[in-house]
Amino acid sequence: MSVSRIILNSKAQYARAYLHTERDENDLTYFLIYNLKSIHKALDDLRKYIKRKSAEKQNALTLLRNTSFNDRQILLIQEMIQDRKIYFTVRKVQTKFRVSNQTARTDLSGLVEKEILIERRSGNKTQYLPAIDFLNKIEK
């Protein structure tokens, strides 16, 4: 919730509240009312943002349900949408979904085949990273 952004965008109102406070024997009521209005506006903006993000997430899930991805792959893609810097390992997927090593490998390999993930060797482990244009691949 960015109150500072609201204050930055309403400098004149901030200045008026400050001046009214100064002129009225340092009565902070003006300043408090201004700050409460700013907080209320920031809260409204936050609610709109959450609603928009929830709708985006729901749309992504709806789109993914009509694909050949299994439920685990859909959840992995959902995580990638939320955090583009995330990476997976076979062990992470195995632990997260409580599946066998082979099932985790199959899920990740399927996403690599569809160019949603790319494989990268790091020491003796393989990391699976989101492809740069994975969202475009999903939409197709």
pTM above 0.95, yes or no: no
111 C-beta neighbours (distance < 10 Å), count: 25
Residues of the chain with CATH 1.10.10.10: 70-139
134 C-beta neighbours (distance < 10 Å), count: 20
User: Please, what sign has the CA dihedral across residues 59, 62, 67, 69?
Assistant: positive
CATH number assigned to the domain covering 70-139: 1.10.10.10
CA–CA separation, 73 vs 106, rounded Å? Answer: 10
Q: What is the pLDDT along the chain (140 residues), one digit of tens a residue?
A: 688 888 888 889 988 988 888 888 888 898 899 999 999 999 999 999 899 878 877 776 776 677 788 889 988 988 898 888 999 999 999 999 999 999 999 999 999 999 999 999 988 889 999 999 888 877 66
* Per-residue pLDDT at 3: 85
Question: Do 64 and 77 form a contact (C-beta atoms < 8 A)?
Answer: yes
